[in-house]
Structure 1
Amino acid sequence: MQTFGVAALARDALTVTELVGALRSAVARHPALTDVLVRGEIGSVSRPPSGVAYFVLKDAEAQIACVLFRSAAAALRFELRDGIEVVARGDVDVFPARGQAQLVVRDVSPIGHGAFWLSFEQVRDRLAAEGLFAPERKRPLPAFPRRIGLVTSEAGAVLHDVLAVLGRRYPLAEVLVSPCLVQGEDAPVSIAAALDRLAGRVDVAILARGGGSLEDLWCFNDERVARAIVRFSAPVVSAVGHETDVTIADFAADVRAPTPSAAAELATPDVADLKSRIEAARAALRSRVRETIEAWREAVATLGARIRPEAIRERVQDARGRLAAAGESLRKEARRLLSAGRDGLSGVAGRLEAVSPLATIARGFAVVTREDGALVASVSAVSPGDEITVHVSDGALEAVVEERRRNGA
């Protein structure tokens, strides 16, 4: 009897498809669930290549899945982003594959920021007022880091992506991985601790996480993470989410990268580029050495030609000719100078002869000197009894002054 009862129940039971279909019909016929206006905060936005937009509308206690089909999504004049508070117009439906109620949205109108963005702006403005984001605080990245710190999740693909780029671009550097949580309530403390473990041990640090929803990335907007970045002893490159994702960590970091892989490229030189530059420098040096050697070879050849016996003989003969000519010129110049000097001396001698005392004596005059050789130009220069010498043209007379007489006395 029991077996027949179960079989009867099975015949009367609805299939899941029938149940969900009934729910869809009931929802579709209910006037309160057609063309409804729903206010909430957007979250978990997804935009696949099909052009359809998926997101949730939520408030403090509930949320509902939403779908915005391609034509309606293309008609929007703003970008759907997590944290924006909106009013959505649409119809309630049941998604058969999940048996889940959803809002098929026809139009979305923003009405202001949500709670997440309000919190973001408050933290950003407070830290900016303290100077944590000031450009003068930013530190330049080292050109050739010896140790690179990587702060990220051990489980994510980001770790492998960054390590692959670092290994390809700059295998000379040692990479120290400091694992941490990258989402959830405990993530801010974990991230700060991971940075502190690397302090003083690396030349640059990369803080990285892959893309995610606003809620997934929210830990990077925590004040504790920003302060850990600022107090870190080396430059920090922030690479959180995708290029369109902006966090407080990006403002605090010394450099922001659009993706984790880009952060690895910013933090390191490209060893292939370095090899190319070294090879170019080596080629330039090799060329310069060849040119120098060739120049010295030409100089030696020139010097060799100059020191050949025939060349030396020619230069000696040429030098002898120039020396003979110079000697003849010197002799001519000497004769000319001697002649001019002789003529000049004759003129000077004539003039001296005219004023010479000897010439005066030769004309019949005498020159009188005292015993000390001083000329006697006045009778007052001697006294009676003084011995004097009278110089005449053919000799001298020794005399004694007996008397002094002045002219007209």
Structure 2
Amino acid sequence: MSEEAILSVSELTGAIKFLLERDPLLSDCWVRGEISNFTHHSSGHMYFTLKDSGSRIKSVMFASKNRSLTFLPKEGMKVIVRGNVSVFERDGQYQLYVNEMQPDGLGSLFLAFQQLKERLEKEGLFQEDRKKPLPKFPKVIGVVTSPTGAAVRDIITTIRRRYPVAHVLLYPVLVQGTEAPLTIANAIDHLNEMVEMKIDVLIVGRGGGSLEELWAFNEEIVARSIFASRIPIISAVGHETDFTIADFVADVRAATPTAAAELAVPHLLELTRHLDSTEQRLAAAMSNQLRDLRKCVDHLAQSPVFSRPTDRIRQLRQHVDHTENELELLLTKLLGNRSKRVNELTQRLSQKSPVERVMHTEERFGFVLQKMFSAMEARLGNAGHQLDRMIDKLDAYSPLHVMKRGYSLAYREEKGRHLVRSINEVQLGDRVNIRLQDGWLDCQVWGIEEEDNHDE
């Protein structure tokens, strides 16, 4: 075997890759399988495995390819993919490079519709309590639709027939194609900014069509513009059986553009009939009220109060005189009772006058006060005499008094001054301090002589 016939691993892998990429079946093929081990990398690339009951193959869909997907692949989803088979040389493993993908058995657009609908519903864009009521009598109605379709003609015709006093402001947009969602969303935003127009309600929609033709109204950008609109929005997309994301977000959903126009404005003829009926009922009610009031006036005119008014005045005067007499008698009686009660209380008060009790109390207080002062003076005198005796006694026992007779006190100098009471407390050479009557002596012990003071 020659050296030239031996291949390196890289050469062998490259040869396999070359053969796979040259095969017309493997260079552009459709494959059906179930997604497993799905990973959406931060780079945007999607890595997954396609499998069936018998085998599996590693697959990758780069970000440049998966950006065009209208749905998000998930674990366990059955799909049909289109791509080419090649070898990842670093691992020496063949894999499928996916360029297109669609759900198997379920259209990609319908799947994308379901996924977006679930996500927006979780965010609360469909909640009923966030929907705005429609005005009863709008003056300006904005219409966002194609200027050439049948929908705009139906809307304008219906509004002019039902409520010709309203003004219609048409904002032409694309309703189909890749650019349609952005133009619809921009139109809604722009009409909300036109505050000078004072638009009362918006109709956003188009005529019927397939799911692909109505898809612009299933885009997230349109849904969020409808949700953010301060002006109430009526969604009118397709026919009665067609439902779009815009229908769920809008404040009101109309089955058709014509139905949207009917919801937006009242019927002038019905309003006129209602006003006529109300006017007739009001006139009848006023007529009945006037008739009842006239009867009441006639009845009052025939009453004695109006026919003979002086009789009533005389009766009232007589009643006033009688009441005055009764009041005068009552006041006289009341004053007599009050005067009698005052006299009784005056007599009782004079009998229990506090003047004598106050004078007696003052005399007693003066006596007690004088007695208290006398007792205090006697007590203070006794205390002063006792204090003088104690001072004399204390002076007699004072060591200073004794010292005047020639006595002194000896103190040891060590560790402060301690009184020396015995010769046993000092030694020869110790320094002592002698306390005299008029000062101190600093001395040293030169001799110690003990005396026998015991009685024989």
Give TM-score, length-normalised by structure 1.
Answer: 0.49
Give TM-score, length-normalised by structure 2.
Answer: 0.44
